[in-house]
Structure 1
Amino acid sequence: MDFDAVRTFVAVAEAGQFQEAAAELSITQQAVSKRVAALERNLGVRLFARTPRGAELTIDGQALLPHARELLRAAERAIASVRPGHRPLRVDVIASRLATSGLIRGFHRAHPEIELDVMKLFDVETAVAALRSGAIDVSFRAVAMPGRPLPEDVESVRVLDEPLQLLTGPAHRLASARSVTVAQLAGHRIWMPGIAPGTEWAAYYDDLVAEFGLTIEATGPNLGADDLLDTVADTPTLATFIGEQTRLVWPTGHGLRRIPVTDPTPVYPHSLLWHRDNRHPALATLRGHLGARPVGHDTARTWTPNWARNY
């Protein structure tokens, strides 16, 4: 159905005059008549009877009027749902316990007026495809993987370098250390069942292992953070890596220790990704908010993979 014709029909019905409806719509009276006539032909009924007083609705016109008004209201709602700034900003944060969720929580506290639609996609390729299709507005990622640069229409900015920490149970040999060097971790079993082959975080830890001769085991099912914490707490020979800003809560009896890693400190590079043509006004606000934060650490005392250093 032609929405211009429907809008014209409603205008004539409310004004009672073709001429007044034409003035309201800023079109000619002839155009009003043509639109109404086209709508009548399409529906196969007469909608108005012309009288000395103007245009009066026929019985069919009276029946159509409330539905025509609802059609116009539905069209306005549809347009408003995609109008810039009138829909939530769609944000991919990977997982709710990670530092990226903390960045979005900080943004929401600073800008509570901006609606957010937060989701958790899996790997960087899935996120990039969603950015390019318009399914999401922004994604927090480690940017890329070796040999897989970002497409030209996807932009990025580094927003956080997050130091890694070693998480151990109370009986682990390193549990009492105030900090540990990367060299001290050689020979220790680091268990990370959440590493999925082909992801950007798998590429990150592969390079960390190759650079420092570490032993990272990804064996066994990934049953979630609670199972990981239970296992590390009960096993004196296993430890795991977590981000400094990863939010974890465990029973007091676990006695887990979070130990800084130094000389150098491995940092995980979090970046914000978005499509170059995205015009959502909240995107600029988010970028400005994140740009006001300190991002990096002393590069002489930290480590990131070579493929992440150009972003």
Structure 2
Amino acid sequence: MDLDAVRTFVAAADAGRFQDAADELSITQQAVSKRVAALERDLGVRLFTRTPRGAQLTIDGQAFLPHARDLLRAEERAVASVRPGSRALRVDVIGRRLAPAALLGAFHRAHPEIELDVVTLFDADAAVAALTSGTIDASFRAVTMPGRQLPDDIEAARVHDEPIQLLTGPAHELAAARTVTPAGLAGHRIWMPGIVPGTEWAAYYADLAAAFGLTIEITGPDFGTEPLLDTIADSRTLATFVGEQTRLVWPADHGLRRIAVRDPMPVYPHSLTWRRDNPHPALAALRDHFGSRRSGGQADEVWTPAWAHPRLI
């Protein structure tokens, strides 16, 4: 159904004269007559009766009028739903317990007026595809991976370097240490069954292991965070890596230890990615937020893969 014809019908019904409707719509009276006639043909009924006083609704016209108004209101809602800034900003954070979720939470506290829709996609490839297709507005990822480049329509800015910590159980030989060095972890078993080959985090930890001669084991089933913590808590030999801002909760009797890694400090390079032509005003606010909060860098010497996207904001 032609919504311009429906809009013209409603205007003529409200005005009572085709000429007045034409004036309101900034079209000619002839155009009003043609639109109404076309609508009557589509519906198979007469909507108006011409009289010396103007145009009066027929019984069918009276029956159709409230539905015509509903159609126009539905059109307004449909347009408003995609108008820049009228819908929630959809952001991918990779995991709700990880640093990107905390970063986005800080943005929300600073801008409570901005509505957010938080999603979690699997890896950088899925995030880039979603950005390209327009199903998300932004994503927090480590980019770019070795041998890969972002599409030309995707922008990225490195916004947060998250220190990596060693997590051990109370009986582990390093449990009492306040800090460890990456090189000092050579020969220790570091177990990370959640690493999936081909992902950006697999690329990061592969480079970390190669840089410092570490052994990172990814074998064994990944039953999730809680079973991993149970195993680490009971082990004298196994440890794992976690991000400094990764939120973990474990029973008091586990006695797990978070140990800082220094000299140099391995950091995970979180970047904000978005599509260049995305007009959502909240996206600009998100970029400005991270541009204003970025510090000059860590006090310690840091390590991150050479392929990590440079800071742009």
User: Shared fold (TM-score greater than 0.5)?
Assistant: yes
Using a 3 Å threshold, how does the CA distance of structure 1 residues 289 and 310 change in structure 2: closer, same or farther?
closer
Using a 3 Å threshold, how does the CA distance of structure 1 residues 124 and 117 change in structure 2: closer, same or farther?
same
Using a 3 Å threshold, how does the CA distance of structure 1 residues 296 and 304 change in structure 2: closer, same or farther?
farther
Give distance in 2, aligned partners of 1:38 and 1:67: 17
Aligned 8 A contact 1:159 1:295 in 2: no
Deviation at 1:247, TM superposition (A): 1.1
The equivalent residue for 1:62 is 62
Give distance in 2, aligned partners of 1:181 and 1:213: 12
Q: Give the residue type in structure 2 aligned to 1:201.
A: W
Give distance in 1, aligned partners of 2:285 and 2:294: 17
Q: Please list every run of 5 or more consecutive structure 1 residues that lacks an aligned counterpart in the other structure.
A: none
SS at match of 2:289: helix
Q: Give the residue type in structure 2 aligned to 1:217.
A: E
Deviation at 1:145, TM superposition (A): 0.8
Aligned 8 A contact 2:264 2:303 in 1: yes
1:172 aligned onto 2:172: yes
The equivalent residue for 2:92 is 92
The equivalent residue for 1:161 is 161
Give distance in 2, aligned partners of 1:94 and 1:291: 21
1:198 aligned onto 2:185: no
Deviation at 1:309, TM superposition (A): 5.2
Q: How does 1:249-264 map to 2 (within 5 A)?
A: 249-264=249-264
Using a 3 Å threshold, how does the CA distance of structure 1 residues 309 and 300 change in structure 2: closer, same or farther?
farther
Aligned length: 311
Give distance in 2, aligned partners of 1:29 and 1:250: 75
The equivalent residue for 2:21 is 21
SS at match of 1:307: coil
Using a 3 Å threshold, how does the CA distance of structure 1 residues 309 and 24 change in structure 2: closer, same or farther?
closer
Aligned 8 A contact 1:158 1:271 in 2: yes
1:220 aligned onto 2:201: no
Of 85-94 and 291-300, the range deviating more from structure 2: 291-300
Q: How does 1:271-286 map to 2 (within 5 A)?
A: 271-286=271-286
Using a 3 Å threshold, how does the CA distance of structure 1 residues 274 and 101 change in structure 2: closer, same or farther?
same
Q: Please list every run of 5 or more consecutive structure 2 residues that lacks an aligned counterpart in the other structure.
A: none
Deviation at 1:60, TM superposition (A): 1.2
Give distance in 1, aligned partners of 2:239 and 2:192: 9
Q: Give the residue type in structure 2 aligned to 1:77.
A: R
Aligned 8 A contact 1:161 1:295 in 2: no
Q: Give the residue type in structure 1 aligned to 2:183.
A: A
Deviation at 1:297, TM superposition (A): 3.1
Q: Give the residue type in structure 2 aligned to 1:144.
A: T
TM-score, normalising length from structure 1?
0.97
Give the % identical residues: 74
Aligned 8 A contact 1:168 1:240 in 2: yes
Q: Give the residue type in structure 2 aligned to 1:162.
A: E
The equivalent residue for 1:45 is 45
The equivalent residue for 2:34 is 34
SS at match of 2:307: helix
**Residues 13-71 of structure 1 deviation map (CA, whole Å, 9 limit, x = unaligned):** 11111111112112121111111111111222110001122111111111211111111
Aligned 8 A contact 2:180 2:262 in 1: yes
Deviation at 1:300, TM superposition (A): 7.3
Deviation at 1:310, TM superposition (A): 3.8
Aligned 8 A contact 2:21 2:32 in 1: yes
What RMSD in Å do the two structures reach over aligned CA positions?
1.3
Aligned 8 A contact 1:160 1:295 in 2: no
SS at match of 1:197: coil
Aligned 8 A contact 2:98 2:245 in 1: yes
Using a 3 Å threshold, how does the CA distance of structure 1 residues 299 and 199 change in structure 2: closer, same or farther?
farther
Aligned 8 A contact 2:143 2:309 in 1: no
The equivalent residue for 2:135 is 135
Aligned 8 A contact 2:264 2:301 in 1: yes
